[in-house]
């Protein structure tokens, strides 16, 4: 026992005699809007399913076009001639076709082979310019004679796509003793539950962007043949067939990592060629910084905050000649040295959130084994996305700066 002479100060207190002051909580450094794509899905179409494998059909309306091969001549007056093209698929007798390069108009008489058709060239004095190999022919209408019978119908088959629903499980566990103990940082159970929910949202978000669809049944790989493990495909991942939902033509990497306004416009020309005139671009921090620098260097300000929000989020509108690109900084992309330079561009109208009946995100309680001295609850969800018309989405990656 220590003897203190004179006035006693706090430094004279015995070991652990002074309780000191504690803020009885945990200050979380949280990411701003952890799962904006998942949040977007809550504003868009939901669909409850009764099976974990989901199929859908899509169908585009392409312009019928082909490439000219021969002959490379003029047609000063209407002339019947057989021309050779890359493919006659989609062309029919009585189609009016136009050469995009020369302006010549022709009329299809008969389809001869898969690469040849007999046409009447030079209609209306339009054949004064010689055709060259590589010129484009497009269907610009049809012309039938008076009293003629109905011509053959034309139909294009839809394309089947599919995806799997993935089971996401994120438990929160504490022992009975820990659950009953008073901690300075608050309830151990509530803190564990909070972390499990954040993990649940973040991991679903990554899967919705980058997941590759797969059904694991190979026992040599650790799967079960009778109880498959399914992986859901994300917008920029692969379908179960191994083909990407978003085609290679809609994936861009700027040369040297340098993005320019003109280059971005060229990307948007492709991405916005079909669908609506609005897209949302989820951007990594570096990509957003580069876009801001481009906007500041431009004579015309084309980057404007949207005050009232779009799709329930605070976004910044980038106006392009092809439509509006709404920019959203994605906090999870900041965690990766690769994703920080990414713009993941989606057409919200072509995405739907899918979940198995009675298995959307819910908190399931008392999941511990009987007799276990503790508490186990978990967030569980079996869900995925329906990704329609991949050509309306796009990915720009590898952004490092602007030129």
Decide: 234 and 246 in contact? Cβ < 8 Å: no
Would 155 be classed as within a structural domain?
A: no
DSSP state of 244: B
The pLDDT value given to residue 239:
96
The pLDDT value given to residue 152:
83
Would 25 be classed as within a structural domain?
A: no
* Number of domains the chain is built from: 2
Residues 6 or more apart whose Cβ sits within 8 Å of residue 198: 30, 34
Domain containing residue 86: CATH number:
2.40.10
The pLDDT value given to residue 246:
96
Would 292 be classed as within a structural domain?
A: yes
Q: pLDDT tens digit string along 152-161?
A: 888 888 889 9
The pLDDT value given to residue 35:
79
Kindly state whether residues 177 and 132 are assigned to the same domain.
no
Would 116 be classed as within a structural domain?
A: yes
Range of lowest pLDDT (228-232, 274-278, 396-400): 274-278
Omega within 30 of 0 (cis) for the link into 71: yes
Instruction: Name the residue range of residue 83's domain.
Output: 65-142
Question: Angle, nearest 10°, between helix axes 261-271 and 285-297?
Answer: 120
Would 265 be classed as within a structural domain?
A: yes
Q: pLDDT tens digit string along 158-171?
A: 889 999 999 999 99
pLDDT band at 1 (very low <50, low <70, confident <90, very high): low
Range of lowest pLDDT (14-23, 143-152, 183-192, 313-322): 14-23
Would 207 be classed as within a structural domain?
A: yes
Would 317 be classed as within a structural domain?
A: yes
pLDDT band at 119 (very low <50, low <70, confident <90, very high): very high
Burial of 254 (0-12, 13-18, 19+ CB in 10 A): buried
Given a cut of 70, is residue 307 above it in pLDDT?
Answer: no
The pLDDT value given to residue 59:
87
Kindly state whether residues 307 and 167 are assigned to the same domain.
yes
Mean pLDDT computed over 28-50: 75
Given a cut of 80, is residue 301 above it in pLDDT?
Answer: no
Mean pLDDT computed over 179-197: 90
The pLDDT value given to residue 143:
94
Kindly state whether residues 234 and 182 are assigned to the same domain.
yes
Ramachandran sector of residue 144 (left: φ over 0; alpha: ψ -120 to 50; beta: rest): beta
Kindly state whether residues 168 and 311 are assigned to the same domain.
yes
The pLDDT value given to residue 50:
94
Q: pLDDT tens digit string along 326-360?
A: 999 999 998 899 999 999 999 999 999 999 999 99
The CA distance from 66 to 117, in Å, is: 12
The pLDDT value given to residue 308:
61
Would 152 be classed as within a structural domain?
A: no
pTM of the model: 0.83
The pLDDT value given to residue 75:
83
């Amino acid at each position: 026992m220590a003897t203190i002479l004179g006035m006693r100060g706090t430094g004279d207190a015995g070991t652990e005699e002074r309780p000191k002051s504690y803020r009885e909580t945990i200050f979380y450094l949280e990411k701003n809007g952890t799962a904006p794509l998942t949040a977007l899905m809550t504003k868009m179409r939901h669909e409850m399913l009764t099976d974990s494998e989901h199929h859908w059909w899509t169908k585009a309306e392409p312009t019928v076009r082909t490439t000219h091969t021969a002959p490379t001549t003029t047609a000063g007056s209407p002339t019947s001639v057989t021309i050779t093209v890359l493919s006659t698929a989609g062309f029919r007798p009585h189609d009016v076709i136009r050469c995009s390069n020369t302006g010549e108009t022709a009329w299809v008489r008969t389809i001869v082979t898969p690469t040849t058709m007999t046409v009447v060239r030079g209609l209306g004095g339009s054949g004064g310019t010689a055709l060259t190999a590589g010129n484009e022919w497009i269907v610009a209408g049809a012309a039938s004679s008076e009293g003629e019978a109905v011509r053959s119908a034309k139909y294009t088959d839809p394309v089947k796509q599919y995806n799997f629903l993935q089971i996401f499980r994120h438990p929160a566990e504490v022992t009975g003793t820990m659950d009953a103990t008073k901690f300075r940082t608050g309830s151990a159970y509530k803190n564990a539950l909070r972390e499990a929910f954040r993990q649940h949202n973040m991991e679903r978000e990554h899967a919705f962007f980058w997941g590759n669809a797969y059904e694991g049944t190979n026992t040599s790989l650790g799967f079960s043949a009778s109880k498959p493990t399914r992986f859901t495909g994300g917008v920029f991942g692969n379908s179960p067939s191994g083909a990407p939902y978003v085609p290679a033509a809609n994936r861009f990497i700027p040369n040297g990592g340098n993005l320019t306004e003109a280059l971005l416009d060229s990307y948007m020309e492709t991405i916005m060629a079909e669908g609506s005139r609005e897209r949302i671009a989820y951007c990594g921090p570096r990509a957003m910084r580069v876009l801001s620098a481009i906007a500041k260097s431009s004579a015309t300000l084309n980057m404007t905050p949207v005050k009232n929000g779009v799709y329930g989020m605070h976004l910044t509108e980038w106006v392009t000649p092809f439509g509006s690109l709404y920019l959203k900084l994605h906090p999870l992309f900041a965690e990766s040295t690769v994703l920080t330079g990414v713009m993941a561009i989606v057409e919200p109208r072509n995405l739907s959130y899918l979940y198995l009946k009675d298995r959307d995100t819910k908190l399931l309680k008392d999941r511990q084994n009987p007799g276990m001295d503790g508490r186990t609850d978990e967030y569980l969800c079996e869900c995925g996305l329906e990704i329609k018309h991949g050509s309306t989405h796009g990915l720009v990656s590898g952004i490092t700066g602007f030129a």
